[in-house]
């Protein structure tokens, strides 16, 4: 029976609830704004299905990708609307051409991210772009299984831990499933996001939210809040407290600091992400419009990728890994995280973020130390998996 004693051991995938034959697992928000399972022991039959489906308890082995690319969509409009290179759109288009279905994340009416299905290319735009808030699958895994059994092609896009959970839930490999994850830094919860958003706009006033607006270029991490009166609030990386909280490890879910799916343990077919440091790895036009880092992790992923309308250049994995640590390394916890969440309902969210995001001398020393440690970790990852091959 699933029993969360240490919150680092729950990723919030809700697979335990989806697999429970007695439907005795519900999900509640904690004080930090993250969802955790609660078992009604009166109805539990101790079948252990919840334990078997958990991606934290049951971890896949680490591995190396089959191939790595720097890539972007040949459609300039799609590239502009996407967080990095627009490769998700091109993969979705390939899936739709077979009559398939895409499951990914969009915003709901309250500007919270939710999982939904999409079956037409003309409806895919709301699913473009990163959503830096945790979304919960709900009945997504069950719906995917039904479609797969009926012979439908399905593409699921989620965090590495969610892809690992889906694999455990399905129990078997489906040739008609394309599992796509992304290079994940970690996820803040709904509570932090809504408190931050409410400082600048009411839900009813918003027309659009973009966590990776490119008005100031791809590298600027700009957050866009666009109101119905045409007013646009754009927070560049320098003054984007929400994104700073994420990057610094201040606002993330506890499990993100001990991610069970790093080092390609998710069993995804394709991994998408921003190609940071691309200019140091491969010769590609430096137009600041966004370049994706793509890792192909299976033959099936390779087949889907080859059909997509994508400009891509093959790159050396060790070189790409040098600048993209989150492929194999969990986010580092911020030493002020506990204080931040203790005050989340007591202080103004902006004041709380400002107070706990101050970067001092010791933080700089710690950053340099972590870079040295990562060099060793990267070498061990490459050596371990090379020997395994």
User: Are 142 and 30 members of one domain?
Assistant: no
User: Are 108 and 174 members of one domain?
Assistant: yes
* 189 within some domain: yes
User: Are 348 and 281 members of one domain?
Assistant: yes
Q: What is the pLDDT of residue 238?
A: 85
User: Are 67 and 165 members of one domain?
Assistant: yes
Q: What is the pLDDT of residue 2?
A: 86
Q: Pick the closest to residue 169 from 56, 268, 49 (CA basis).
A: 49
* 366 within some domain: no
* 156 within some domain: yes
User: Are 63 and 16 members of one domain?
Assistant: no
Domain that holds residue 171: 59-358
Res 389 pLDDT > 70: no
Q: CA 135 to CA 125: how far, in whole Å? A: 18
User: Are 12 and 159 members of one domain?
Assistant: no
Q: Rounded to two decimals, what is the model's pTM? A: 0.96
| Dihedral angle, C-alpha 375, 338, 25, 40, nearest 10 ° | 140
Q: What is the pLDDT of residue 1?
A: 79
User: Are 33 and 133 members of one domain?
Assistant: no
Q: Are strands 177-182 and 270-274 parallel, antiparallel or unpaired?
A: parallel
User: Are 12 and 94 members of one domain?
Assistant: no
User: Are 312 and 211 members of one domain?
Assistant: yes
Q: CA 235 to CA 237: how far, in whole Å? A: 7
Higher pLDDT, 180 or 221: 180
Q: Pick the closest to residue 241 from 277, 188, 202, 205 (CA basis).
A: 188
* 382 within some domain: no
**Cβ–Cβ < 8 Å for 16, 53:** yes
* 317 within some domain: yes
Q: What is the pLDDT of residue 286?
A: 74
* 261 within some domain: yes
Span 40-69, pLDDT tens digits: 999 999 999 999 999 999 999 999 999 999
Structural domain count of the chain: 2
User: Are 266 and 169 members of one domain?
Assistant: yes
Span 61-92, pLDDT tens digits: 999 999 999 999 999 999 999 999 999 999 99
Specify whether the backbone of 345 is left (phi greater than 0), alpha (psi in -120 to 50) or beta. Answer: alpha
User: Are 105 and 46 members of one domain?
Assistant: no
Res 196 pLDDT > 90: yes
* 386 within some domain: no
Span 87-102, pLDDT tens digits: 999 999 999 999 999 9
Res 358 pLDDT > 90: no
Tokens of 33: 């704004």
User: Are 13 and 66 members of one domain?
Assistant: no
- Using DSSP, state whether 258 is helix, strand or coil: helix
* 260 within some domain: yes
| Dihedral angle, C-alpha 28, 251, 165, 267, nearest 10 ° | 180
- CATH number of the domain that residue 45 is part of: 3.30.70.20
Span 287-341, pLDDT tens digits: 899 999 999 999 999 999 999 999 999 999 999 999 999 999 999 999 999 999 9
Q: Pick the closest to residue 193 from 147, 239, 237, 131 (CA basis).
A: 131
Res 363 pLDDT > 90: no
């Amino acid at each position: 029976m699933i029993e969360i004693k240490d919150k680092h051991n729950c990723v919030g995938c809700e697979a335990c609830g989806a697999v429970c034959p007695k439907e005795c697992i519900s999900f509640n928000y904690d004080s930090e704004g993250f969802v955790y399972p609660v078992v009604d022991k009166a109805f539990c039959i101790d079948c252990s299905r919840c334990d078997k489906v958990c991606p934290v308890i049951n971890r896949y082995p680490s591995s190396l990708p089959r191939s790595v690319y720097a890539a972007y969509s040949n459609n300039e409009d799609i590239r502009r609307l996407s967080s990095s290179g627009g490769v998700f759109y091109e993969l979705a288009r390939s899936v739709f051409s077979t009559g398939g279905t895409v499951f990914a994340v969009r915003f709901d009416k309250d500007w919270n991210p939710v999982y939904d299905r999409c079956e037409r290319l003309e409806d895919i735009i709301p699913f473009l772009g990163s959503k830096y808030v945790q979304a919960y699958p709900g009945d997504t895994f069950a719906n995917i299984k039904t479609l797969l059994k009926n012979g439908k092609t399905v593409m699921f896009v989620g965090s590495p831990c969610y892809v690992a959970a889906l694999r455990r839930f399905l129990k078997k490999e489906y040739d008609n499933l394309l599992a796509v994850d992304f290079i994940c830094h970690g996820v803040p919860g709904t509570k932090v996001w809504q408190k931050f958003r409410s400082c600048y706009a009411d839900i009813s006033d918003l027309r659009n939210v973009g966590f990776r607006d490119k008005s100031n270029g791809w590298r600027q991490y700009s957050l866009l809040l666009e109101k119905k009166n045409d007013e646009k609030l754009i927070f560049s990386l320098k003054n984007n407290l929400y994104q700073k909280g994420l990057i610094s490890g201040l606002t993330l879910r506890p499990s993100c600091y001990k991610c069970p799916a790093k080092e390609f343990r998710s069993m995804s077919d394709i991994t998408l992400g921003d190609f940071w440091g691309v200019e140091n790895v491969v010769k590609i036009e430096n137009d600041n419009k966004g370049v994706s880092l793509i890792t192909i992790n299976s033959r099936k992923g390779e087949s889907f990728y080859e059909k997509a309308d994508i400009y891509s250049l093959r790159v050396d994995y060790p070189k790409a890994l040098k600048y993209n640590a989150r492929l194999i390394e969990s986010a580092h916890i911020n030493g002020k995280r506990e204080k931040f969440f203790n005050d989340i309902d007591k202080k103004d969210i902006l004041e709380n973020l400002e107070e706990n995001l101050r970067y001092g001398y010791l933080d700089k020393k710690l950053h340099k130390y972590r870079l040295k440690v990562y060099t060793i970790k990267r070498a061990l990852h490459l050596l371990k998996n090379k020997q395994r091959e």
